[in-house]
Amino acid sequence: MKVDTYRYLDEWIPNYYPARKVSEDKYIRISRVGTITFLTRSENVQLHEVFMDKELYDRLEASGHIITAKNSDQVMNNLQTWYQRTFGGTELHIVVLTRRCNLNCTYCHMNPVAPSAELESSDMQPHIQDAVIDFAFSSPSKSIIFEFQGGEAFLNFPGMMSFVEKVKNKNINIRKNIEFAVTTNLTVITDKQMQFCSDNGIRVSFSLNGSEAIHNRSRITRQGYGSFDAVMKKIKYLRNEFPGVLSSSPLCVVSKDTAPYLKATIDFFHEHGFKQIAIIPLNPLGHARKNNLSFDIHDFLRHYIDALNYIYEKNKTTNGYFSERIVSVLLMKILCKVDTSFVDWRNPCGNFGGAVVYDYDGELLPADEARSLRHEFSLGNVMERTYFDLIQDRNTFRTMNLSFRDRDSECRECPFNPYCGVSPILNYARTGDATPKPNESEECLKTIAVLDWIFKKLVEDPLPLLQMLPELNKFKEFSKQLHLMEVTTA
């Protein structure tokens, strides 16, 4: 016997992961395509009963949290949209122009050599550049981002100039959307080089770990001197002479020694006019492994969440916004209908599917972190393998497959499954096993901690959190549609 005010179990198929409690009377459910819905306690219970209120049914049908005869086509379309960056072809192409570097950072995972090292065996040679460019253009992606790295990429500036010219010439007829970026320590960059970046739209990213005392703990020259003064001098000069070229979000690597000072570090960046900080925990790769540097994830998360609370409170009292990169990435996942382009934080991860690394000698790697673990994760050499070869080879997608969270029953039952992002390569570096384990993988623990924090803030008072998005006004109306802005009164 059925009544009109209810909808019954034979009218829908569940399309949700289990709920997670975010406040006394609020639960969050995330569909397979990343769509969120907040439910009250009584609403949440109805998904485990034989019928539900018609109003709730209509809401879950519209959001895709249940699959019905009416919305099934749309749910599948949304699924394809969510995964379009996974299967659209490799977009990010990381090009290691040289392994030479003038710094000798204590945690560097690139295994750099001195600037005086032989160029032929340390810098990417022209014939390898040609093969890299041909390989990259073979990707079906309509957009290609070339990111130059090192060592210190500007130590091979002639290689950078010739690479950009070759790409532009090749693209005259192919007409892909081309972007360029470079990661640098800033200490050797010249006006000529910066002008080249400005003229060619090359985004310049750099590392800055905080104040002088903190930065100079690890980012040191080969003579053992700190690099802080040189970096800050360049930042001030380049901001004035080449406005808009430098990244507004420095890369900030945090160790067990510097984590206790994260609040002071945030104040430092805020006072120096930065709008965002990318807080990166030290990884057990390269020099960090050689120098026996380690950082317990639970220790990191304690300081990291404390820092996020500090930023959140700061945004309550400032007119502008201040953000942390991973929080911004996750907010974009929550507010958009397509997974983000951030290849490290996807389910599955973007190893080769979203990004590929070309080492200085043409060695192909599925992710940047694999450069010091080439013996385990190499995909061959760009001089010998084509893009078409690799997409047919199951081994190419080994780490991507290992990152897929539906492979573990615990992960299939995790409310945050669609937003997860684990790294088989980092897991191998820590444990010798490339298979991330639920609730043990450091990235898994970070996902749970950060998303618990985000959803708690969305329920309590979302505006200071949404101020972590550069385009806040774009999402205000959308957030209302998701019941975020008025959730405390719902």
Please check whether residues 214 and 73 belong to one and the same domain: no
**pLDDT of 456 above 60:** yes
CB 272 within 8 Å of CB 234: no
How is residue 367 annotated by DSSP? S
Which pLDDT score is estimated for 482? 46
**pLDDT of 476 above 70:** no
pLDDT tens digits for 62-111?
999 999 999 999 999 999 988 988 999 999 999 999 999 999 999 998 88
Average pLDDT, the chain: 92
- Which of residues 325, 357, 377 is at a domain's end? 377
Q: Give 469's pLDDT tier (boundaries 50, 70, 90).
A: confident
Cα-based distances in Å from 39 to 19, 160, 166? 9, 53, 54
Cα-based distances in Å from 91 to 138, 341, 360? 11, 9, 19
Please check whether residues 73 and 126 belong to one and the same domain: no
pTM: 0.94
**164 within domain boundaries:** yes
Q: What is the mean pLDDT of residues 466-477?
A: 67
**454 within domain boundaries:** no
pLDDT tens digits for 369-408?
999 999 999 999 999 999 999 999 999 999 999 999 998 9
How is residue 296 annotated by DSSP? -
Task: Give φ, ψ of 38 to 5 degrees.
Answer: -95, 135
- Token pair 């497959």 is at which residue? 401
Secondary structure in 3-state letters for 156-196:
HHHHHHHHHHHHHHHHHHHCCEEEEEEEECCCCCCHHHHHH
**392 within domain boundaries:** no
**pLDDT of 483 above 50:** no
**476 versus 308: which is more confidently predicted?**
308
**pLDDT of 472 above 70:** no
Please check whether residues 68 and 121 belong to one and the same domain: no
Task: At 214, list the tokens.
Answer: 């903190």
Task: At 389, list the tokens.
Answer: 């070869």
Domain around 64: 1-82
pLDDT tens digits for 318-363?
766 899 999 999 998 888 777 777 899 899 999 999 999 999 999 9
Please check whether residues 99 and 225 belong to one and the same domain: yes
- Which of residues 377, 404, 436 is at a domain's end? 377
**174 within domain boundaries:** yes
Task: At 428, list the tokens.
Answer: 């191998």
Which pLDDT score is estimated for 110? 84
Please check whether residues 201 and 279 belong to one and the same domain: yes
Which pLDDT score is estimated for 297? 96
Q: What is the count of structural domains for the chain? A: 2
- Which of residues 64, 82, 100 is at a domain's end? 82
- Token pair 């439910």 is at which residue? 39
Which pLDDT score is estimated for 484? 44
CB 247 within 8 Å of CB 206: yes
Which pLDDT score is estimated for 473? 56
**54 within domain boundaries:** yes
Please check whether residues 128 and 273 belong to one and the same domain: yes
Cα-based distances in Å from 363 to 379, 392, 418? 7, 18, 32
Which pLDDT score is estimated for 475? 52
**417 within domain boundaries:** no
At 69 the three-state DSSP class reads: coil
Q: How many CB atoms lie within 10 A of CB 247?
A: 15
Number of H helices, E strands in the chain: 22, 16
CA–CA separation, 140 and 142 (whole Å): 6
Task: At 191, list the tokens.
Answer: 């006006």
Which pLDDT score is estimated for 335? 83
**pLDDT of 296 above 70:** yes
**401 within domain boundaries:** no
- Percent of the chain having pLDDT more than 70? 95
Out of 303-312, 417-426, 480-489, least confident range: 480-489
The amino acid at 483? H
Query: 365-402 as b/e, with b when 16 or more CB fall inside 10 Å?
Result: bbbbbbbbbbeebebbebeebebeebbeeeebbbbbeb
pLDDT tens digits for 151-161?
999 999 999 99
**294 within domain boundaries:** yes
Task: At 19, list the tokens.
Answer: 């709920």
Taking the CA atoms of 352, 356, 358 and 359 in sequence, report the sign of the dihedral they define: negative
Q: How many CB atoms lie within 10 A of CB 159?
A: 22
Please check whether residues 4 and 66 belong to one and the same domain: yes
Q: How many CB atoms lie within 10 A of CB 20?
A: 17
Which pLDDT score is estimated for 471? 65
pLDDT tens digits for 201-234?
999 999 999 999 999 999 999 999 999 999 999 9
